Amino acid sequence: MATPKTAAAGAAEVAPAAILTTPPPSRAYLTTTVDEASGEVTETSRFRYLAGHPRQIRFDAKAGQFNIGGVTPLGNSLEFVPLAWRIFSDNILNMGRKTWAELFFVDAKGAVCAVLFHGYSVENLYRLIEPLFYDDLTLADVKVKISAEKKQTIKDEKTATYYIAQFSYTPADPAEVQALREFAEDFPIWREETYTGLAEIKTSAGYTVPQAEDQPALLEAAEATPAAAA
């Protein structure tokens, strides 16, 4: 006896539905989505950045703590792959002329941030940069960890406690390094409050101040479409 055929065997074949493929993004910091109805491809930045106004991360050297804008606590350490940086001498924030280290990075929420150090903390950052240089690396190639280290000094027979930043590093994800590098190539990474035009730059990478005539347009575009300008 012949083996019975299934009911589906004689049915007309149904053409498979069209499969929309998502193309790779044009830049590593972008993500792509495809509209199922129109097939339109949209690219969106993973990072949020208001040009010249990164989120301010502060290091409280008296308490040994990091915070956002002097308000939201972040603990006694930070860890990130630097987006851009500069070490410079300038009179900023009404603190007189000092040597500063300004590092820019992207936090866990995708916001571009900036953090400042001066004094012994800058010297410690140099101690990290030197071995990286001889290994043919830069700060942008590694994940930097910044920890508050307690120090004490005696003045007028009284013990005073303060903290300095210590720097160490571990290997970084190459894909994240590439995304950050391309973002720094496409956008001017700087902070308006710390820029005077009079700084003596000792070393920098990825740090770019736009020309004066371009600054209003960049800020207007960022305010209009923060995700695209991120």
CB 85 within 8 A of CB 204: yes
Q: Between 226 and 121, whose confidence is greater?
A: 121
Mean pLDDT of the chain: 86
Rounded-to-integer distance, Cα 105 and Cα 83, Å: 5
Rounded-to-integer distance, Cα 46 and Cα 148, Å: 29
In whole angstroms, how far apart are CA 172 and each of 124, 137, 141, 163, 175?
20, 11, 6, 27, 9
36: alpha, beta or left? (left if phi > 0; alpha if psi -120 to 50): alpha
Q: Render pLDDT for 181-213 as a digit per residue (tens, 0 to 9).
A: 999 999 999 999 999 999 999 999 999 998 765
Rounded-to-integer distance, Cα 149 and Cα 81, Å: 21
Domain assignments of the chain as residue spans, ordered by start: 55-209
* Ramachandran angles phi, psi of 129, nearest 5°: -65, -35
Q: Render pLDDT for 13-56 as a digit per residue (tens, 0 to 9).
A: 544 555 568 888 999 999 999 888 888 889 999 999 999 999 99
The structure's pTM equals 0.82
